[in-house]
Amino acid sequence: MARVKNISRTGALYIVFLILFLLCFYIFGSNTTMNEGTWRNIFLLLIVLVPCVLWSIFFYLQDRIEPEPTVYVIVAFLAGMAGFTLIGLPLEKTFFQLNEWMYKSTGLLVLGSIFVNGAITSFLFYILIRYCFYPSREFDEPVDGMIYGAFIGSGFAMVKSLNYLSAYPDYSLFVIAYTATKNILIYASIASLIGYFLGKAKFAKKRTNIVSIVGFMLGTVLIGLYHILNEIVMTAQRVGNIFLLSFILSLLFAIIILAIVYFRMRKLTEKDLHKDVKVKFELNPIVIVLFIIFLIIGGFTKKSAISEIEFINDEYSISFQYPNSLSRKPPRDPWEPTISTDFAKDIKTLLRIGGDDKGSFIFAFKVKKGIDKLSTLNYREYIGDIDSLAISKEKINIGMQEGIRFKYSYPKRARNENFPRLFWVNTDIIPTNNNTYIFTFRGTPENFKEKKELFEDILQTVKWF
């Protein structure tokens, strides 16, 4: 029995199980997705729960001499879940709106990952360890900080994985298992490292705040770096090789951090370091100031990324505003429907923004000299050869000018793709005194629904002069 426990502590059984766990999902679940509904949610919870429980047990067994009370580590796990749910998620999603600007460029990804994602997560880990468990009499040896940190990180990773994966029902079972496993490894390991520095601070002969500051800073950088490696594919113009590279590097990074944590734990448990140390409840002002500075940098980054850009064209007497986050000019567009050459030459494209090399989202503004009456308008000249059964129309008003909106969908296949993509489109046609204006909003169904309100906001700012 003791031998089995020793093998468990070394992590050998867990590594083998991890490999088998992912291998099974790779063989049987690489191309398998689950339909949305109750059973998908239950199955998703089970897949995420397996690596969380597995690695929580692994970390718990590392405390060889005097394991922490079971109730305490369960509370630590629940604290990590609550930390992400009540603080981490609202700050990232609602206050900083990371998904609205962070993936616009590699530079923004780096800044958002470190100064927002990394700082918030590291500060949460620091606060929960320092003020929930650090003062406890059960925190009586340096390794205890690593144990509590690991359980806090595990709870954090579980809720974060569920929140992320529930938003992508098209993910395969393998991607779900891989994401959950990688998250638990990295967040539990980094939280454990922060706990390591807090443990050193508590039991140091000369009490100092420097060690705690180092822990918080290191956690911020490591979490930011992991997020960059994991999400760099979102900013890439060509996805193929970069996806595999991101896959390998982020998993390798997680394993390296886990190895560092494991050997630190082994070192701390080689001899009995128990000591009854009483600590006062006191804030570390430097950590708090650093956290605030990081958030301020993140706030300025967000503001510059999502600020409004004003489009003004004196020749065609029009202006409107659009978010800076859409300022990137999309690459060549192989998914645009074919329009008659004779008519297309009369249309001038003045602005085309948003999107990526997948054609996920495009906003285009075009002008045709001359007036087309709405009553006699030939929609095919504006939207291409689209099946009439896939089209509906409605009257609209943009900037106090009446027009017509064509709502339609169409499949289109790029040259290097085996299957066509489905696109939803709104094309708004506004005839005025001298010109006919065309506003087009196109996206894959998921992106169309997500960005539709943004399109309407742009139209609300249209002014004629």
- Number of domains forming the structure of the chain: 2
Which of 305, 327, 346 represents a domain boundary (last residue)? 305
Q: Are 293 and 313 within one domain? A: no
Q: Are 249 and 328 within one domain? A: no
Give, rounded to a whole angstrom, the gap between the first and last alpha carbons of the chain. 84
Q: Are 196 and 263 within one domain? A: yes
In angstroms, rounded to a whole number, what is the distance separating the alpha carbons of residues 209 and 41?
44
Q: How confident is the model at residue 239 (pLDDT cuts 50, 70, 90)?
A: very low
Could you report the per-residue pLDDT of 341-391, keeping only the tens digit for each? 555 667 888 888 875 545 567 888 999 887 777 777 777 777 777 776 678
Task: CATH number of the domain at 342, please.
Answer: 3.40.1000.10
Q: Are 324 and 294 within one domain? A: no
Helices then strands, counting H and E runs in the chain, come out as 16, 9
Could you report the per-residue pLDDT of 380-424, keeping only the tens digit for each? 777 777 776 678 889 999 988 999 999 988 887 766 666 777 888
**pTM of the predicted structure, to 2 decimals:** 0.72
In angstroms, rounded to a whole number, what is the distance separating the alpha carbons of residues 233 and 260?
27
Could you report the per-residue pLDDT of 38-66, keeping only the tens digit for each? 777 888 899 899 888 888 888 888 877 77
Could you report the per-residue pLDDT of 117-149, keeping only the tens digit for each? 999 999 999 999 999 998 888 888 888 899 999
Range of the domain at 15: 2-305
Q: Are 172 and 227 within one domain? A: yes
C-alpha angle with apex 153: 72 to 271, nearest 5 degrees? Answer: 60
Q: Are 425 and 365 within one domain? A: yes
Q: Are 200 and 322 within one domain? A: no
In angstroms, rounded to a whole number, what is the distance separating the alpha carbons of residues 316 and 368?
10
Q: Are 336 and 257 within one domain? A: no
pLDDT, residue 344, reads 61
pLDDT, residue 238, reads 47
Q: Are 237 and 371 within one domain? A: no
In angstroms, rounded to a whole number, what is the distance separating the alpha carbons of residues 22 and 20?
6
In angstroms, rounded to a whole number, what is the distance separating the alpha carbons of residues 120 and 128?
12
Q: Are 256 and 150 within one domain? A: yes
pLDDT, residue 106, reads 80
Q: Are 227 and 349 within one domain? A: no
386 or 267, which is more confident: 267
Which of 283, 305, 327 represents a domain boundary (last residue)? 305
Q: Are 339 and 451 within one domain? A: yes
Q: How confident is the model at residue 71 (pLDDT cuts 50, 70, 90)?
A: very high
> C-alpha distances in angstroms, 139 versus 168, 198, 274?
40, 11, 9
Phi, psi of 323 (to 5 degrees): -65, 145
Which of 290, 305, 320 represents a domain boundary (last residue)? 305
